[in-house]
Amino acid sequence: KAGVTQTPRYLIKTRGQQVTLSCSPISGHRSVSWYQQTPGQGLQFLFEYFSETQRNKGNFPGRFSGRQFSNSRSEMNVSTLELGDSALYLCASQTSGGNSYNEQFFGPGTRLTVL
Amino acid sequence: AQSVAQPEDQVNVAEGNPLTVKCTYSVSGNPYLFWYVQYPNRGLQFLLKYITGDNLVKGSYGFEAEFNKSQTSFHLKKPSALVSDSALYFCAVRDKGGSYIPTFGRGTSLIVHP
């Protein structure tokens, strides 16, 4: 099986712009979660989608949004970029949405740099 | 609320020596516990998990972890470290009866010296 894929791998944007990141989960996985990883804050949960519905949301401003498509692929969008949004954005997928003991499978991440 | 603490930002060990990366957790119910490893410029890779049963869990690449309920700990161990084990290690917890979203520790950088 192919792993979790994320595109693009690297992005450079300027303040005020918006950006869209994409994630394709492992085939058969219906849950997709997004995380922001920074040296100062570590791994922070953004949101989780299951069957095209946002099921959980972390403590991030409304500039951060996401969606999931019928094929389980997911996108996240950040509008009005700020310097502090520079981070590695990780996508993770897992099988069934109802079993919290399942491990997550992570993609390689998208490195976003905001200038 | 659930939380995870990894008390050491960095662990240094000589190749061939045993290694331990510490993790303590807090949940209101019973925990599901996970260890992940992250190599530079890569996503996290799953190493092992504790769900129930035997307190000693064996995982990938020769790693194991011991669940200690009384000490609320889940330390990661390996009998003989390799230079290639050098990476960032994350502990994560989910409360069986609580949030579906795992809480991650801040990570511990493991450096194995030749």
Residue pLDDT, tens place only, B33-81: 999 999 987 889 999 999 988 899 999 999 999 999 999 999 999 999 9
Residue B113 touches chain A, beta carbons under 8 Å: no
B77 interfacial to chain A (CB closer than 8 Å): no
| Residues near A75 by beta carbon (within 8 Å), at least 6 away in sequence | A20, A21, A22, A23, A66, A67, A69
Structure tokens at B43: 């996503």
Contact at CB, A42 and B106, closer than 8 angstroms: yes
Between chain A and chain B, the number of residue pairs with CB atoms below 8 A apart is 52
B20 has pLDDT over 90: yes
Q: For the segment A22-54, what is each residue's pLDDT rounded down to a tens digit?
A: 999 999 999 999 999 998 888 999 999 998 999
In a mutational test of the A interface, the residue from B3, B100, B108 whose CB has the highest number of chain A CBs within 10 Å is B100
Residue B79's Cα: distance from chain center in Å? 15
Q: Is the peptide bond before A8 cis (omega within 30 degrees of 0)?
A: yes
- The predicted model gives B9-17 an average pLDDT of 97
Quickly tell me which residue has 């996970």 as its tokens: B34
**Residue of chain A minimizing CA distance to B44:** A106
Pairwise CA distance, residues B15 & B54, whole Å:
29
- The percentage of residues in chain A with a pLDDT greater than 70, rounded to a whole number, is 95
Please give the pLDDT value at position A101. 74
Chain A residues inside the 8 Å CB shell of B45? 106
Rounded Cα gap, residues A91 and A93, in angstroms: 7
Nearest-CB residue to A90 (from B43, B46, B101): B43
CA distance linking residue A75 with residue B8, whole number of Å: 34
Banded pLDDT at A97 (limits 50, 70, 90): low
- Angle CA A35–A88–A68, to nearest 5: 45
CB pair distance less than 8 Å for A100 and B100: yes
Q: Are A98 and A113 in contact (CB under 8 A)?
A: no
Please indicate whether, in this complex, the C-beta atoms of A101 and B32 are within 8 angstroms of each other: yes
